[in-house]
Amino acid sequence: MKKILKFIKITFISLLSIILLFIAYLYISNKLFLESKDDDNVKYLAENNVQIGASIDEKLFDADFYKSQVFLLGEIHGYADNQKIDQEMLFFLNKKLGIKYYIAEMDSLTAKKLNAFLFLEKEKNKVALREVVESIKRRIPQQSSQELFDKWSAVHDYNQNLADSLKITVIGIDKNFDDESKGSRDEAMVANFKNAIKKMHLENEKFYGLFGYFHTLQKKTESGRATFAAGLKDSGVKVTSFVSYTIDSEMYLPKNPQFPTPKDEKVNWINADGPLMLVKGINDLKELSKPESITLFKLDSKNSPYSKSQNLITVKSRAFGENIVPLKDASATDYFQYVFLLRNSKALTKLK
């Protein structure tokens, strides 16, 4: 009996030691990857950031910015503040540039149903909007939420003050679910976007849309996978990409068969500073932001260190998704030009 107890004790101590060593390894490894604050980066960022309030501040947008034909916001799905940013970016670009075409990570049938809702002049058809939000769950479960419903409801209200010819219209450019053609989703989105422009005679129009983070990268990474934004840029379209990172925020993680989720379907351990997702250089942005805020940083101003650095585009994922490793000769600004840093964002919530 004593031998058994001794064996159990030794086994327990050994397992505990291994766990503690693993935790220590993760902590040290994460610290080294994230890097300490860089004074040169912080100095640049201090002059190239603005805090976002109830609307978008155009302080960081120069004449070259407005020459873009396509503006993209890339999110990691599941954070409530991304829906707020998306709504305000759409309203800002509509008022400033007259952008009325919203390109979306949804199929054409879903977009058609959403447009029917947006153009309805009488009382809102909440049942129809609910069907649209529920249908999005099929492709992006983490985006189908009350906040998504509320955003499109607000766009409907916004449309009521516009002439029919100026109302915001959604163009769904993702693959239809019955599309069995070969090629990636991103390649299909590029083709569908170009076909929509040709079919609707929109060659002189500008466009805006919200997509998953990876789709908005303007250059291939070491994985070699095509991206929507890179496909547009390679075909001569001028694109501006914004990406969104989070600190101290909660992600909506709906129940699924792939991995266990908490009862409340919220997790707070997938942020840009770890422990399971790490964005190199994020501490420089964290230094210049406040808790419970949204801060926008411009990376491509004159003499920007990010035009020669791979900080903010080098991402390590320890659990979800894949590592983002930029090409050796590429810099952060080759992939995107702006970063939104969300601090203490709430998670998206289930549709009521």
pLDDT 10s digits, 1-10: 666 666 566 6
Give the pLDDT mean for 280-288: 94
Global pTM reads 0.91
Determine if the peptide bond prior to 326 is cis (ω within 30°): no
Question: What mean pLDDT do residues 161-165 have?
Answer: 90
Q: Considering the chain, what percentage of its residues have pLDDT values greater than 70?
A: 88
The residue with greater pLDDT, 338 or 15, is 338
Instruction: Give the pLDDT mean for 12-26.
Output: 56
> Where do the DSSP E strands lie in 76-199?
101-104, 169-172
Angular region, 231: left φ>0, alpha ψ -120 to 50, beta rest: alpha
Average pLDDT over every residue of 311-322: 83
Average pLDDT along the chain: 91
d(CA 278, CA 49): 22
Give the residue extent of every domain in the chain.
1-34, 39-343
Q: In this model, does residue 31 exceed pLDDT 70?
A: no
The C-alpha angle with vertex 311 and arms to 306 and 317, in degrees rounded to 5, equals 150
Percentage with pLDDT > 90 across the chain: 77
- On the question of pLDDT at 217 being above 90, the answer is yes
Asked if 211 and 228 count as a contact pair (C-beta separation under 8 A), the reply is yes
pLDDT value, residue 32: 57
